[in-house]
Structure 1
């Protein structure tokens, strides 16, 4: 994924000067893959000391942190040794087992952790997300059998387009999925073509803020291959997407951050997915576009320093 930064005049630019880092702090970033890269980079921009932890010996974010330790987060003794002086835990992983271990450790040691387990449990499951969308009337693609073909079948768990399949007819769908795809953990929806957009919502103690709408460029190989900001959407359309996203954050009773991805087709938005975790694609592009550092905002909120 290659971020594109558009200035208001349409040319590339550099990040605005940042005057954060007024409060010395140290965070433990758990996970050094794409999410970890975004978190570590933006944390360093905010003047935050970054301890990166990953069970693997070589990860992309290891070159962006102050300290790297190869640790399995299910090893309490290792966490005791390595995280004794951290002010906050910032997960950049999706493993439910690892997240559960981190929550248990954080609770015992009274260390804040930037993760909303209730909201994440809904967003991590496409079946649970679908129930949430239907309950609160979120505009989403029509589901099979009440939709036209082609359709896409999405496994309940998995990030982005992982495992998604396209079907051109009912016979083809039934041949592969059987008569009840939902019983096998699949969501089947109408395939909608159109430009795709995203926006992050940060919610702190009941107050929600939408950060910036970004344009997503997709392909079959990389899913999201490029992010562009600011968006080319009209102000009215951006306001519509932001309104949908803020309402979802309230209905989720979100505490922390959520990413919303939607397709714009025939003059309206259809929400494709939500992720109640720090995103792995847009935050650095947003920072260079408008100067908002999502890591700094989240950390400051969590530690009561905003």
Structure 2
């Protein structure tokens, strides 16, 4: 039986453990929290701090695949160095993550590649979106309707420097996963994401309902981005369908 080591037991670890179990793999999860969400799904749970665990290298070597299921950069840097030293097979690419974890760096890449993206402020009209460059998901995102609201926002939070300020685009949201291994790329089925104000992504719908032509366009865009960041591992690309354009 194939073995996977999942590092981190929160939501991402829960998803990884669930899917790897579905695939028939033996799953070990490591997290310092004994009540981590993924602990109950694992065949084996290790309560340990990833940064100080004496058994980390041994566990990595015994696994056919190591999946870091977290977003803290210092921990990811530590895991990447440890995997390299141990000769472990890691489903993660630090170079790619250093781009994708920053919305500002990601937007710059979109511009360089000609990938459609919301217009930056002040080259767009209201409403606009203001969001932190390096926080996860929808955390800290604000929708601003006019100049008065923008002025109030700046009085409360200060300079907009270091934040993404761009056009608000409305429409259904879609996601595609792409895996890269030694230059080979494969995309998977497009899904539609339903959102609400409380839960962020509350439902995933499959099949998505997008036309085959638009799904092919989406897959090609994901492949372009994966090549640009020299992806080795897995990532997803999310889009809004706005006025007929992804």
**TM-score normalised per structure 2:** 0.93
Partner of 1:226: 203
Offset of residue 78 of structure 1: 4.2
1:74–1:260 CA distance, 2 compared to 1 (3 A): same
SS at match of 2:241: strand
Given the alignment, which residue of 71, 90, 94 partners 1:113? 90
Please report how far the alpha carbon of residue 253 of structure 1 lies from its aligned counterpart in structure 2 after TM superposition: 1.7
1:72 Cα offset (Å): 0.6
After the TM superposition, which residues 155-174 of structure 1 pair with which residues of structure 2 at under 5 Å, given as runs?
A: 155-174=132-151
The answer to whether the Cα contact below 8 Å between 1:200 and 1:212 also exists between their aligned partners in 2 is yes
In the TM superposition, residue 174 of structure 1 has moved relative to its aligned partner by: 3.2
CA distance in 1, matches of 2:199, 2:75: 26
What residue is the counterpart of 2:69 in the other structure?
92
1:216 maps to which of 193, 212, 220? 193
Map of 1:246 onto structure 2: 223
Q: Do the aligned partners of 2:32 and 2:50 also contact (CA within 8 Å) in 1?
A: yes
Q: Summarize the Cα distance change of 1:233–1:80 in structure 2 as closer, same or farther, 3 Å threshold.
A: closer
Query: What is the alpha-carbon distance in structure 1 between the residues aligned to residue 83 and residue 89 of structure 2?
Result: 7
Partner of 2:25: 48
Q: Give the equivalent residue in structure 1 for 2:233.
A: 256
CA distance in 2, matches of 1:126, 1:97: 18
Is 2:27–2:42's contact at 8 Å kept on the other side of the alignment?
yes
Measure, in 2, the Cα distance between the counterparts of 1:126 and 1:61.
28
The 2-side partners of 1:235 and 1:166 are apart by 32
Aligned counterparts of 1:144 and 1:204: Cα–Cα separation in 2: 37
Report if the CA contact (8 A) 2:5-2:59 is conserved.
no
CA distance in structure 2 between the aligned counterparts of 1:81 and 1:257, rounded to whole angstroms: 24
Aligned position for 1:28: 5
Q: Which residue of 2 aligns with 1:124?
A: 101
| SS of aligned partner of 1:77 | coil
1:12 alignment partner in structure 2 = none
Stretches of 4+ aligned residues off by more than 6 angstroms: none
Distance in 1 (alpha carbons) for counterparts of 2:63 and 2:122: 51
**Displacement, 1:52?**
0.3
For the aligned residue pairs, the C-alpha RMSD in angstroms reads: 1.7
Aligned equivalent of 2:119:
142
Q: Which has the higher contact order (CA 8 A, sep 6+)?
A: 1
SS class of match (1:99): helix
SS in 2 for 1:236: helix
Residue pair 1:52, 1:67 contacting (<8 A) in 2 also:
yes
The separation in 2 between residues aligned to 1:84 and 1:267, in whole angstroms, is 48
Q: Cα offset for 1:89?
A: 1.5
Q: How do 1:181-196 residues align onto structure 2 when only pairs under 5 Å count?
A: 181=160, 183=161, 185-196=162-173
C-alpha contact 2:61 2:88 (8 A) present in aligned 1: no
Q: Distance in 2 between matches of 1:210 and 1:89?
A: 21
What is the deviation of 1:171?
3.1
Shift of 1:177: 2.9
Alignment: residue pair count: 244
Q: Structure 1 CA distance, aligned partners of 2:106 and 2:11? A: 23
Report the more deviating stretch, 66-75 or 169-178: 169-178
**1:288 counterpart residue number:** none
Q: Distance between the aligned counterparts of 2:211 and 2:218, measured in 1?
A: 11
Deviates more, 1:80-89 or 1:134-143: 80-89
**Consecutive unaligned residues in structure 1, runs of 5 or more:** 1-23, 270-306
